[in-house]
Structure 1
Amino acid sequence: MRNERTRYLIVPGWHGSEDDHWQSHWQRALPNAARVEQSDWIAPQRADWIAELERAIRRDSGRVVLIAHSLGCVTVAAWAAQADRRTLAQVAGALLVAPADVERETCHEALRNFAPIARQTLPFPSVLVGSDNDQACAPQRALALGRCWGAETVILPSAGHINVKSGHGAWDSGYRHLFRLQYLIDLQSRRRA
Structure 2
Amino acid sequence: MKTADCDILIVPGLRGSEEEHWQARWASRLPTARLVQQDDWHNPEPGPWRARIVEAVAAATRPVVLIAHSLGVVACVEAAPDFQPGVVRGAVFVALPDVENAPNLPDSVRAFAPLPREPLPFPSLVVASRTDPHCDYARAEDFAYAWGAAIVDAGDSGHINVASGHGPWPEGLMRFAGFMKTL
TM-score category (smaller protein): over 0.9
Residue of structure 2 in register with 1:98 after alignment: 95
Deviates more, 1:71-80 or 1:99-108: 99-108
Aligned residue type for 1:55:
E
Deviates more, 1:114-123 or 1:175-184: 175-184
Stretches of structure 1 lacking an aligned partner (at least 5 in a row): 186-193
1:110 shift after superposition:
1.6
Identity %: 41
* 1:182 counterpart = 2:180: yes
Residue of structure 1 in register with 2:170 after alignment: 172
RMSD of aligned alpha carbons: 1.3
1:62 shift after superposition:
1.3
Aligned residue type for 2:82:
A
1:108 shift after superposition:
1.7
Q: Provide, for residues 124-156 of structure 1, a one-character-per-residue CA deviation record: whole Å limited to 9, x for no partner.
A: 111100000000111001100110111110111
Q: Provide, for residues 43-97 of structure 1, a one-character-per-residue CA deviation record: whole Å limited to 9, x for no partner.
A: 10111001000111111331111000000111111011x315xx24111100000
- Maintained 8 Å contact 1:131/1:159: yes
Aligned-partner SS, 2:117: coil
- Maintained 8 Å contact 1:131/1:156: yes
Count of aligned pairs: 182
Aligned-partner SS, 2:127: strand
Aligned residue type for 1:97:
V
1:104 shift after superposition:
1.1
1:8 shift after superposition:
0.8
d(CA) in 1 for partners of 2:122, 2:102: 30
d(CA) in 1 for partners of 2:180, 2:53: 21
Stretches of structure 2 lacking an aligned partner (at least 5 in a row): none
Q: Structure 1's 154 and 3: CA in aligned 2 closer, same or farther, altered over 3 A?
A: closer
2:161 to 144, 160, 163: 163
The residue correspondences of 1:1-193 to structure 2 (distance < 5 A) are: 2-80=2-80, 82-84=81-83, 87-106=84-103, 107-185=105-183
Q: TM-score, normalised by structure 1?
A: 0.90
Aligned residue type for 1:21:
H
Superposition misfits of 4+ residues, deviation over 2 angstroms: 1-5
d(CA) in 2 for partners of 1:183, 1:18: 28
- Maintained 8 Å contact 2:7/2:61: no
d(CA) in 2 for partners of 1:62, 1:157: 34
d(CA) in 1 for partners of 2:101, 2:35: 27
Deviates more, 1:51-60 or 1:164-173: 51-60
d(CA) in 2 for partners of 1:134, 1:105: 10
Q: Provide, for residues 94-114 of structure 1, a one-character-per-residue CA deviation record: whole Å limited to 9, x for no partner.
A: 000001110014132121110
Q: TM-score, normalised by structure 2?
A: 0.95
Aligned residue type for 1:130:
A
d(CA) in 1 for partners of 2:134, 2:64: 27
Aligned residue type for 1:157:
G
- Maintained 8 Å contact 2:100/2:114: yes
